[in-house]
Amino acid sequence: MDWSLIKRERKKRRRRNEAQDIPMDVVVEILKRLPTKSLMRFKCLSKLWSSLLCSRYFSSLFLTGQTRPRPRLYICLADLYKDHKNVILSSAPDTTKPSSSYVVDRNLTIPRMGGYISQNLLGFMCYTFWRKPRICNPATRQLFTLPAVKSSIIPRGVIKKIAYYYFGHNPLNDQYKVICSIAPNLTTMPEHWVFVLTPQGGSWKKVAPTPSDFCPYTPVHRGQSVNGVIYYLALIDMYNYVLVSFDVISEELIMSQVPRMDGDELHGRFRLKNVNLIEYGGKLTVLDSTQLRDKGMVVLWILQDAGNKEWSKKTLILHPCQLQLVNNIVFHVNGTTQSGKVVLIPQDLLSPFHILCYDLQRNDMRKIEIKCIPDHWFRKKKKDRRFDVMFMDQSESVIDLDLLGDFN
C-alpha cells in the first residue's frame, strides 16, 4: 500500500473541505473586490457562480466594492467597405505614464463591431451600427441589438430614415430605457418612441402625444442623461435649435429655449458644430467651444433650475502656455468624466493619435496619447473609414444584459 499517495489524497480532501467551509458572505466580499476580467472567468466554474455573478444583487455589491473606477477609452473604428474589419478598441492608462498616455488592450478588442456611440451610462454603452441601435456591456462583452422601430410615418420599403437614439436610466426602480426620434426626412416632424429593457427583451412603444408647442425637427447631438432625465439639442429651423428633455420616469417630452450667446455668434445663435451638452457639477450644461481654437475660450451655460428654466453663464480662458494644444487641430467635445473633466477628440484619426482632457474646475488642459492603434487604420483614406470615441470612467457593470429589466 502506497501511504504517501493516501496522505496526498487526504490533504486534497481537507483542502476541499476547508474551501467549502468558507461562508458565502465572505466569498461575496472577496469577489466584489476583484477585477471584472477575473469575475468573467469565474462564471465558468458552475451554474451557481454564474447565477451569482450575473445577478443584480451582486452587481450592486460590486459597484460598492470598486473603490476606484477603472477609466477606459473606447474607439469605434469602421471600414465603410469591409464590415468584417470593424472593431471597438479598448484602451487603459499606461502603467508607466498613467496621466499622459493610454494603451490599447488587444485582449479586450471587440471585432466586427463599431459605429457611432450615442451615450455611455452606468457601465453600458449605447451605439448605432448600420442604423441599428445596440446596447453593449464592454466589461462582459455582451451585446443586445434592439429591434427596428415600426413607425407609421416611415413609408413601407424605405430603408434610409432619420433616427437618433438616446439612453437613460430610471433610478427609482433601476430601469433602463432607450428613446428614439425618427422621421423619414429632415422636413417631417419626428415621432418619438421608447424602448423599456426587460428580461424578455422589451419592445418599442410610442411616446404620448407631445404638446402643441413641441416642434423640433432634427436632433443634432448625442444625448446627455442627468438625474433621470435625457437631454438633447434639436433644430427648429436652419439656424435655431432648442433643448429637448425626456423624463425617464414619466416619459414626458418637454421643449425649452437655450440661452442666446453674445460676441461672435451669428445673430446671437449658437454655431451647431461647436455646441455640446455635458454634465457639470451634477447639472446639465451647454458648452460652446466656438472660440476655443482662436482665443482659447469656452463658454458654459449651466441649467440651474430646469423647472423655471434658469441658466447661469461661466467663461473660461486657457492659460497662454496651453494654447498650442488647440491651435493646430480641430477638436470637438466628447463628454465629461466622473470628475467633471471635458474630453476633446480630434476631428480626424491622426497619427500619433491623442485626445485632450480639460479640467473645468482648475481651468487646466492636458494631452493624452493613445498608443498601439493598428497602423493600417491611419493609412486608410478619410472617405473610407469612420471613427468615434467614448471615454468611460464609471464603475464597471457585471449585470447580464438579459437581466436589465429584472427588478426582483
Q: Is residue 233 part of a domain?
A: yes
Closest C-alpha among 342, 313, 302 to residue 325 = 342
Pair (280, 226) in one structural domain:
yes
Q: What is the mean pLDDT of residues 304-326?
A: 88
The answer to whether the beta carbons of residues 301 and 328 sit under 8 Å apart is: no
| DSSP-based three-state secondary structure for 401 | helix
In a domain, 132, yes or no: yes
Domain count, the chain: 2
Decide if 388 is inside a domain: yes
**DSSP states of 331-359:** EEEEEE-TTSEEEEEESS--SS-EEEEEE
Burial class (CB in 10 A: 0-12, 13-18, 19+), 84: exposed
- Give 353's contacts (C-beta < 8 A, 6+ positions apart): 346, 369, 370, 373, 378
Query: Alpha-carbon dihedral of residues 151, 407, 36, 40, nearest 10 degrees?
Result: -90
Contact 258, 286 (CB under 8 A): yes
* Alpha carbon distance 348, 384 (integer Å): 12
Instruction: Give how far the C-alpha of residue 246 lies from the chain's centroid of Cα atoms, to the nearest Å.
Output: 17
Q: The CATH number of the domain where 323 resides is what? A: 2.120.10.80
Mean pLDDT of 33-44: 77
Residues 21-25, mean pLDDT to the nearest whole number? 71
Domain enclosing residue 21, as ranges: 3-61
pLDDT at 354 over 60: yes
DSSP letter at 29 equals H
Please check whether residues 147 and 41 belong to one and the same domain. Answer: no
Tell me how many degrees the CA angle 206-120-94 measures, rounded to the nearest 5: 170
When mean pLDDT is compared across 53-67, 341-355, 379-393, the lowest value belongs to 53-67
pLDDT tens-digit readout, 111-162 = 777 666 777 777 788 877 777 788 888 777 777 888 888 887 777 766 677 8
Q: Are residues 7 and 109 in the same domain?
A: no
The confidence score (pLDDT) of residue 164 equals 86
Residue ranges with strand state E in 171-294: 175-183, 191-196, 204-206, 218-219, 224-226, 229-235, 241-247, 253-257, 275-280, 283-288
Per-range mean pLDDT, top range of 26-35, 46-55, 256-265, 366-375: 366-375
Residues 57 and 97 in one domain: no
SS (H, E, C) 57-100: HHHHHHHHHCCCCCCEEEEEEEECCCHHHCEEEEEEECCCCCCC
Say whether both 14 and 74 belong to one domain. no
- Any domain includes 345: yes
Whether pLDDT at 212 is above 70? no
Q: 197, 145 in Cβ contact below 8 A?
A: no
What are the pLDDT digits (tens) for 260-309? Answer: 655 444 333 455 567 888 888 888 988 888 888 888 888 899 998 877 88
**Whole-angstrom Cα distance, residue 32 to residue 44?**
17
CA gap 356, 352 in Å, rounded: 13
The size of the chain, in residues, is 408
Q: If pLDDT is split at 50, 70 and 90, which confidence band does 408 have? A: very low
169 shares a domain with 29: no
270 and 398 belong to one structural domain? yes
Question: Which residues does 287 contact at the CB level (< 8 Å), separation at least 6?
Answer: 275, 276, 277, 278, 280, 298, 299, 300, 301, 333, 342
For residues 338 and 356, membership in a common domain is answered with yes
Q: Is residue 27 part of a domain?
A: yes
Taking only the tens place, the pLDDT of each residue in 366-402 is 998 999 998 888 888 888 888 888 887 766 666 666 6
Q: Tell me, what's the pLDDT at 78?
A: 82
Give Cβ neighbours of residue 23 (< 8 Å, ≥ 6 apart): none
Identify the pLDDT of residue 406: 46
Is there a contact between 358 and 344 (Cβ–Cβ < 8 Å)?
Answer: yes
- What is the mean pLDDT of the segment spanning 178-186? 82
pLDDT band at 315 (very low <50, low <70, confident <90, very high): very high
Distance CA 115, CA 128 (A): 6
The region that residue 363 occupies, defined by phi over 0 for left and psi between -120 and 50 for alpha, beta otherwise, is: left
Torsion of CA 136, 138, 143, 146, to 10 degrees: 0
Q: Work out the mean pLDDT of the chain and round it to a whole number.
A: 78
110 and 19 share one domain: no
Task: Say which residue, 312 or 235, is predicted with more confidence.
Answer: 312
Instruction: Give a yes or no: residue 273 inside a domain.
Output: yes
Determine, yes or no, domain membership for 319: yes
Q: How far is CA 374 from CA 108, 110, 308, 327, 351, in A?
A: 14, 14, 50, 27, 10
Q: How far apart are CA 52 and CA 304, in angstroms?
A: 42
Tell me, yes or no, whether 82 and 190 share the same domain: yes
Distance CA 209, CA 258 (A): 23
Least confident span in 221-225, 238-242, 359-363: 238-242
Measured over the CA atoms of residue 398, residue 403, residue 407 and residue 408, the dihedral's sign is negative
Residues 28 and 121 in one domain: no
Q: Check whether residue 266 and residue 234 sit in a common domain.
A: yes
Who has greater pLDDT, 32 or 157?
32
Answer whether residue 408 is part of any domain: no
